[in-house]
Structure 1
Amino acid sequence: MKKNWWKRALSIGLVFGMTAGLCACGGGKGQDASLAKVGVYKMQEFDMPEIDGDDYNIIATTHKNGKIYLMMQVHHWTEEGSSEDIRLLTMEDDGTEIKMTTLEIPEWDYQTPGAGSVDMPVMPRTETEGDGNGEADSEEDTGSDDAADPEEDTGSDDAADPEEDTGSDDAADSEENTGSDDENDPEGDTGSGDGESPEDEREPNAPDSDGEIPEGEEVWENSSYENYNIGADGNIYAIRRYYYENYSTETYTQKDYITSWGMDGKLLRETELEGIRSEEEWSYINTMTVAQDGTVTLILSGDTPCKMTVDAQGNVSEKVPFSEEVGKIFSNIDRIIQKEDGTFLIVYYDENDYSKEFLATFDPATDKMGEPQPMPGNFSYAGYNVMGTGTDFDLLCCNNSGVYTYKAGDEDCVQKMSFINSDLNISSFNSLVAVDENTFVGVFYEDYNNGLKAGRFTYVDPKDIPDKTVLVLAGSYIDGNMKKRVIEYNRNSDEYRIVVRSYDSLNSYDDWQAGYGQLNNDIITGNMPDILITTGLPVENYVAKGLLEDVGSLIEKDEELSQTEFLQNIFDAFSVDGKLYYVIPNFNVSTLMGKSAIVGDRTSWTMAEMLELQNSLPEGTNMIGEMTRSGFFQTAMRFCGSDFVDVSTGKCDFDSQNFISMMEYAKTLPEELSEDYFGEDYWANYESQYRDGRTILSSLSISNIRDINYSVNGYFGEDVSYIGFPTENGKGSYAMANECYAISSRSKNTEAAWEFLRYYLTEEYQSSLQWGLPVQKKYFDENAKNALGRPFYIDEEGNKQEYDENFYLNGEAIVLDPLTQEQVDKVVSFILSIDKCYYYNEDIINIVNEEMDAFFTGQKSAQEVAKIIQNRAQIYVNENR
């Protein structure tokens, strides 16, 4: 048994990022060196106890009287099933004196009700002498498993996927977990489901306590714990919810109990809460608070928001409705956070506009609500997760960029800590506790999958940080992989630091493109970053203005990369006038595919040729699967936008016969797809539409050659042609960069920017791609080679395990044959023939969409609308060149 963590809680070593990333100095050249010194914190990591579970997560956090209390849910998985236990982790707010206690959870003795009756389970009660505040047993064996995997953790969504989940996890976002989760209550109960901890669950047809199933009955029973609270009396409280459903008799009931434990984990008492809900009134427990004398105050939301109390002797009061004003607020709660003094901060929605939120205080002792203050417009949109409160601010919150504070009445949140500037690859905080103005303690995930960690974070004064030459990297959105790359670069560079500007922080529900607009405006007005993530931006405008560095020349001058063979056709696709302005690490290819027997063995066609084929097919045949009018032009602009806007010359051609033919074809398509588009048996008809010839063309995006097998041998079941979208120039397929970066031609640190970006073209990166087609020829060929043969995975012992790939047709599985060498050669030849990139310019596409409706509704002719689009588009292009 390991018990040394009881005595030694605080690691003396600083995190690597501080020692490696902030040492050495440059001359402070380039962009303002102070940019890299904003929100810098150092971290001292705590020695956390070893957990004898398969996975775990923090479900509630409390800070009281200089101590931190973490309620932890530990999962255990076996071949027989799963189980969970609840533990209390306590520590001083400096990270010392860490102790872990497992709460006593009795075995529930379920008594299955008979038909037509509802009896509650009999729960053994345990009384404990004294005040229940005994210390944890230092001889307790806590086992070992620190490496919990947040990707598999099903209890805490925020901690598991910070990049794709920017919403809130109420279990982790307050000093006292008081959030809500509608998913756990079949009647719509929105109590704190994130803290749910089912201790026993019986599936339908499970035996009762006597090992028998009532004849002809299917039942389901479950008990769970939530709404954890560390009371002012020094005990632990939670709500136990009991659910019972008899599917055979359609009998359902739910009951609630207050359960309390001492700090030693011993069960003290349990009180049934009668009168919470009734058939006439829907109600649920939103949160609770516990006074010094053990009186519990419950805040109830539902049809009639109200409160009720339970004294230390278990006496339950009647429900006392709130005023109409207070009731409206409790009916629209987003988050409710309990402060150390027992009052609450409430973040709630405008009942008429859920994009607007307000902040108010609430005192449960007096039922008084403070004056509501409007929250920042981007608070919800930006993914801020409320974690706790502080003394010099109201809210302590975080998103995937750092930790922020907010004071009621302020226009925006203020960044307290920047993950990147601190050289910390933190994916997400599970809980935060403000210790003082410059210090906080946090439980977090580092690099997504390295298990829960905890540490003390201390502010670093800018004057104590050496200067380095600063480069700015910016984009409309910056993903976690890029942030990780920046942190690694900053840790290892003695001379340079990269700071990040992610413009999506400016977006809100009122203006979801505010960041895009501001970044574009900054670029064209001279505030160009050294390194630009080009995704979604009108890059042809920047090329025309000479704002981008010639990356092709940088590759030619590079001693290593100049000797590397790349897919030249892909570089050509992204070149303008023979110059490559982008670093393209990987790509995919988009096209339209159809049976060769129908569309012919070719890789391009014109609009006239497509219409000729359509006229020869049986009436009712769909040319392109599930295509609407607006969808057609969204697709057309991606494939053919460069046919109508010449990036090199700036000439537009929207009044051409080609564009008018597209307009006339689009008008024949439905405005929207009806519910019976594929009939009653939707999926069976969907899966067979291409094999049966009811639909001719399917869109295809190739990011891994092996993956096309499902489309080729599954959906079509015979030889296919990658024919593409109908165009006049014969280039109806395109390449799209999954990642695309550029360097400012005005940067004073071009060599440093290139040193950062060239990594994406090196063998180290190209050989490790998990998705997307490599641009290095060597690894592209390897991708094609791996497409042959049955799919496989590598098991835990490192052995290759092959398996069959199935396609489902009319509800039956069809085992697909692997791609043949001939099929692979055909798609490789097709990919290597593509020398056009996709077209995307939000402003041009908006012009097309805005004017097209006049043609679709018959107000104007195709020629009239095409001329208007031509004039507007040409003016836009001229103004932005």
Structure 2
Amino acid sequence: MILRKRGILLAGLLALGMTACGSKTEGEDRLASDKVYIPQFIDFKLDADSLAAGCADGQNLYVAAEKNETVPVEGARNRDEKVIPDKGLYRIPLNGKDAVRLEQYQPISLPEGMEGYINIQELSAGENGTLWVTENMYTYTFQLPEGFNEETDDKWQYQSEIQETTVRRQLDSSGKELKRVDISGLAQKLNVDSVNSTTFDREGNIYAVTEKQIFALSPELQVLFTVEGENLYNRLILLGDGNMGLISSSYDETTQTSNNVMRTIDGKTKNWGKEYPMPLNVYDVWSGSGEYLFYFQNGDSVYGYKAGNAEGEKLFSWVDSDIDRDEINFWFPMADSRIAAVSRKWDNDKAKYELILLTATDRTTLPEKTILTYATMGLDWNMRKRIIAFNKSSEKYRIEIREYGQMNTGADNSAGLTKLNMDLSTGNAPDLLDMGALPIRQYSAKGLLEDLWPYIEKDREIGRERLMEKVFQAAEQDGKLYQIFETFAIQTVAGAKDVVGDRKSWTLAELQAAKAQMPEGCAVFGQYDTKESMLQTVLLQNMNHFVDWNNGKCSFDSDSFKALLEFCNSFPGNKEIQQVQDEDYESEASRIINKKQMLAQFTLYDLGWTYQEYKAAFGGDFSLVGYPREDGSVGSSFIHSSGLAMSSGCKDKEGAWSFMRQLLLPGLNDENNYAGMFRTNKTDFEYQIKNAMTPEYQVDENGNQVLDENGKPIPLPLGSMWISDDQEIKLPRPSQDDYDRFMELYNAIDSENYSDENITKIITEETAAYFAGDRSLDDIVRQIQSRVSLYVSENR
């Protein structure tokens, strides 16, 4: 057993200081600011590939673990092997001792002559140290024809006698079976099409959930009562008071509002009981204990709900404890107010499990650190990892997260944004802002954001020269940079060079002239592109061209915008596309090759598969011509990962930059080479290009290169593209010419994709009548210009 003294060390790392760079919002839940949960990590020495279920009884945790063992197949040729899963139950003492296997536990057995698999679905603690385990068994046989040859035929074509069995068993402390309840075939017994899930109460009664009914059954499977409902898809949980609860979501078409509640079943009245309002989009809920009816997770924080309360009470934040919630398998509240959790990390592709004991500690007892507040509508996994790493390593600063999206309700889906805007205008501004869902141009026009170019230029490890500067220049506003980001891509349109010409921009008239060269019936884009979808695309591409937030002006009554709407109107409507049958589907590559489609719109995020597929489809010689624009500008644009900004009111800008700069530092290498898109750090970008262009060669079974008749190594293609079942195109690895063409486009682009949800909504509402043929183009653009001008004026 290894007990690491990280609980003491993390007391310093987790400290939130008295000197604050931004303070807590008045009225926010203060529990987390009074207490912080310090983690203690314990290696309980469990060698397992996966954990299927877990529970706690106050003194121990129990987990269902699986370890796959590879064994040779008797009598098989070529050293064939098969994988045998070893399923076991383990007790993990909370006193730091190693996991102990329940040696008497044996999973339910497959019937003789049947094949299949067994899953442990659920564990729950019983009385007097007993344990309940729910197991699901899926079995089948094969009716193989005479003379069946496994090497030339597929036995799965002859699968038969499929059965599903679900059993709940009570075990003693050694894992020996004490009691068994077979709940197989509930759907047939209840005369329903299917049972979505089953849950058990403290008396062993069974609750079976169907789409419109919940059945309560005795342990002997006698129906006790039923309750009716709609859309009962979520799983029931046992509440702290012994009743059952289920998350239910609904949408009111009249008011256009969403509703999310915990509905309870009252065992005494045998009907629906109280309802507890829940935050929007919360679905992760757990059974309650002690004074809490149930627990739920909203964003990165865990809440407990007490009977009679109108909302949940914040208990703790995973990030506050320097824990990545994505690594948590199970967690359980303990009677002594501690939190017990089991985490899984990966070490050289091997799972490593730890017991985490979280103990509430008064924040005032911890050393001071300067707080940096980070505002986001929803914390993404990548930024969560960065914040945790920063908080662990920084001796001076600590980042505290404000998830404004948690404030959204069914009646007001923008409550979080409203609160953030209020904080920005009343001196309670956060120090750092995740701009992924925020109106950066409005904020910068109001002077709420810091220009980041001076920080980049003064940073000796970064500077403009170490970045893909063109991408950041496209994100500038009046020469100032208000956000930084880690990755980028290019949104563009490709066409055959002999059709569209060798160009990077064109007008709508030039596009139509090119289409006139194509066969009759040839479409501009794909089978499923519509007026409505193209409108969304061109607005992303061109919003910056029509709205100037700094000057408070817009130009939606211009000829350029009219041309874009005419372009969108040339596509079919949504209703027409809905009539396209699945059997009429044809891959885009095939449509391009067969002259049924002239152009392809795509996101260029590397020089590999996507680039090479379209290059091959267009015959190897194509232009990245972009979307039509009447002003002659390049029709392609940059898109980038979520931006990070610094508020102009940040009280410790040096500390804020010490976190932000990490997005711009190099980080790719041979062991860590995944990026998803092009990196904005130039060293990383060049590594990506070199890695993509480096050829791979054919090798033999011993790893030695295979040579051709001239004694030269044989290069391997990047892969294959299948146009049809019998038509394959080999894709080459990116060439120097591919890179040169990419860089030529990269250096020509001067704009980025940008969306404003409210402006887009106005335009979508107004253009519906134009697309339907009910109003003229001039009438529509006048109305859009009027409405958007008013919106911009009111929100500057």
TM-score range, shorter chain: 0.7 to 0.9
Q: Which residue does 1:783 correspond to in 2?
A: 688
Alignment of 1:479-558 (within 5 A): 479-508=380-409, 511-524=412-425, 526-558=427-459
- The aligned amino acid for 1:820 is S
After superposition, the Cα gap between the structure-2 partners of 1:253 and 1:100, relative to the gap in structure 1 and judged at 3 Å, is closer
**1:865 paired to 2:780:** yes
- The aligned amino acid for 2:55 is T
- SS for the counterpart of 2:228 is helix
How many residue pairs are counted as aligned between the two chains? 741
Aligned 8 A contact 1:592 1:697 in 2: yes
Aligned 8 A contact 2:482 2:645 in 1: yes
From 658, 677, 680, the counterpart of 2:583? 680
State the distance in 2 between where 1:68 and 1:480 align.
Answer: 30
Aligned 8 A contact 2:240 2:289 in 1: no
- SS for the counterpart of 1:872 is helix
Q: Which residue does 1:209 correspond to in 2?
A: none
State the distance in 2 between where 1:529 and 1:280 align.
Answer: 55
**1:689 paired to 2:689:** no
Measured against aligned partners, the alpha-carbon deviations of 1:439-484 in whole angstroms (never above 9, x if no partner) come to 2212234689863321221111122123322221112232122122
Q: Which residue does 1:715 correspond to in 2?
A: 617
Q: Which residue does 1:298 correspond to in 2?
A: 206
State the distance in 2 between where 1:408 and 1:69 align.
Answer: 27
Q: Which residue does 1:43 correspond to in 2?
A: 39
Moved more, 636-645 or 444-453: 444-453
Q: Offset of 1:231 from its aligned partner?
A: 3.5
Q: Which residue does 2:605 correspond to in 1?
A: 703
Q: Offset of 1:745 from its aligned partner?
A: 1.6
Alignment of 1:2-151 (within 5 A): 5=1, 13-14=6-7, 16-22=9-15, 27-28=19-20, 30-31=22-23, 37-51=33-47, 53=48, 55-63=49-57, 66-78=58-70, 80-95=81-96, 98-105=99-106, 108=109, 110-111=111-112
State the distance in 2 between where 1:841 and 1:271 align.
Answer: 57
Q: Which residue does 1:612 correspond to in 2?
A: 513
- The aligned amino acid for 2:449 is L
After superposition, the Cα gap between the structure-2 partners of 1:753 and 1:838, relative to the gap in structure 1 and judged at 3 Å, is same
State the distance in 1 between where 2:282 and 2:496 align.
Answer: 45
Moved more, 507-516 or 865-874: 507-516
Q: Which residue does 2:232 correspond to in 1?
A: 332
State the distance in 2 between where 1:779 and 1:272 align.
Answer: 58
Q: Which residue does 1:142 correspond to in 2?
A: none
From 808, 811, 819, the counterpart of 2:722? 808
State the distance in 1 between where 2:200 and 2:190 align.
Answer: 24
From 850, 866, 872, the counterpart of 2:765? 850
Alignment of 1:605-754 (within 5 A): 605-625=506-526, 626-672=528-574, 673-674=576-577, 677=580, 680-683=583-586, 685-729=587-631, 730-754=633-657
Q: Offset of 1:604 from its aligned partner?
A: 0.3
Q: Offset of 1:253 from its aligned partner?
A: 5.0
Aligned 8 A contact 2:105 2:174 in 1: no
Q: Offset of 1:635 from its aligned partner?
A: 0.9
Q: Which residue does 2:262 correspond to in 1?
A: 358
- SS for the counterpart of 2:493 is strand
Aligned 8 A contact 2:53 2:122 in 1: no
Aligned 8 A contact 1:377 1:510 in 2: no
State the distance in 1 between where 2:535 and 2:395 align.
Answer: 50
TM-score for both structures, normalised by structure 2: 0.83
Measured against aligned partners, the alpha-carbon deviations of 1:830-867 in whole angstroms (never above 9, x if no partner) come to 11221211221111111111111121223321101100
State the distance in 2 between where 1:646 and 1:447 align.
Answer: 48
Aligned 8 A contact 2:22 2:373 in 1: no
Q: Offset of 1:622 from its aligned partner?
A: 0.9
Q: Which residue does 2:174 correspond to in 1?
A: 264
Q: Offset of 1:723 from its aligned partner?
A: 0.6
From 127, 138, 145, the counterpart of 1:232? 127
After superposition, the Cα gap between the structure-2 partners of 1:36 and 1:759, relative to the gap in structure 1 and judged at 3 Å, is farther
Aligned 8 A contact 2:133 2:169 in 1: yes
State the distance in 2 between where 1:395 and 1:709 align.
Answer: 50
After superposition, the Cα gap between the structure-2 partners of 1:793 and 1:407, relative to the gap in structure 1 and judged at 3 Å, is farther
Aligned 8 A contact 1:36 1:498 in 2: no
Q: Offset of 1:632 from its aligned partner?
A: 1.2
**1:877 paired to 2:792:** yes
After superposition, the Cα gap between the structure-2 partners of 1:95 and 1:334, relative to the gap in structure 1 and judged at 3 Å, is farther
- SS for the counterpart of 1:690 is helix
State the distance in 1 between where 2:546 and 2:483 align.
Answer: 22
Aligned 8 A contact 1:710 1:807 in 2: no
Moved more, 826-835 or 638-647: 638-647
State the distance in 1 between where 2:106 and 2:678 align.
Answer: 53
Aligned 8 A contact 1:725 1:732 in 2: yes
Identity fraction in percent: 25
Q: Offset of 1:286 from its aligned partner?
A: 1.7
- SS for the counterpart of 1:717 is coil
State the distance in 2 between where 1:799 and 1:67 align.
Answer: 57
Q: Which residue does 2:153 correspond to in 1?
A: none
- The aligned amino acid for 1:836 is S
After superposition, the Cα gap between the structure-2 partners of 1:270 and 1:522, relative to the gap in structure 1 and judged at 3 Å, is closer
Aligned 8 A contact 1:536 1:841 in 2: no
- The aligned amino acid for 1:43 is P
- SS for the counterpart of 1:500 is strand
Q: Which residue does 1:286 correspond to in 2?
A: 198
Alignment of 1:311-460 (within 5 A): 317=220, 319-322=222-225, 326-328=226-228, 332=232, 334-338=234-238, 343-349=242-248, 355-360=259-264, 362-363=266-267, 368=270, 371-378=273-280, 381-383=281-283, 385-398=284-297, 401-436=300-335, 438-445=337-344, 451-460=352-361
Measured against aligned partners, the alpha-carbon deviations of 1:293-325 in whole angstroms (never above 9, x if no partner) come to xxx543444587545555xxxxxx462340xxx
- SS for the counterpart of 1:334 is coil
State the distance in 2 between where 1:785 and 1:441 align.
Answer: 46
Aligned 8 A contact 1:233 1:290 in 2: no
State the distance in 2 between where 1:839 and 1:879 align.
Answer: 20
Moved more, 27-36 or 812-821: 27-36
After superposition, the Cα gap between the structure-2 partners of 1:760 and 1:793, relative to the gap in structure 1 and judged at 3 Å, is farther
TM-score for both structures, normalised by structure 1: 0.76
Aligned 8 A contact 1:549 1:745 in 2: yes
- The aligned amino acid for 1:808 is W
State the distance in 2 between where 1:360 and 1:109 align.
Answer: 37
Q: Offset of 1:557 from its aligned partner?
A: 2.5
- The aligned amino acid for 1:701 is T
- The aligned amino acid for 1:382 is V
After superposition, the Cα gap between the structure-2 partners of 1:645 and 1:791, relative to the gap in structure 1 and judged at 3 Å, is farther
After superposition, the Cα gap between the structure-2 partners of 1:696 and 1:648, relative to the gap in structure 1 and judged at 3 Å, is farther
**1:770 paired to 2:675:** yes
- SS for the counterpart of 1:438 is coil
- The aligned amino acid for 2:66 is V
State the distance in 2 between where 1:334 and 1:793 align.
Answer: 51
Measured against aligned partners, the alpha-carbon deviations of 1:367-387 in whole angstroms (never above 9, x if no partner) come to 756832223142xx135x223
- SS for the counterpart of 2:64 is strand
5+ residue gaps, structure 1:
113-200, 203-220, 311-316
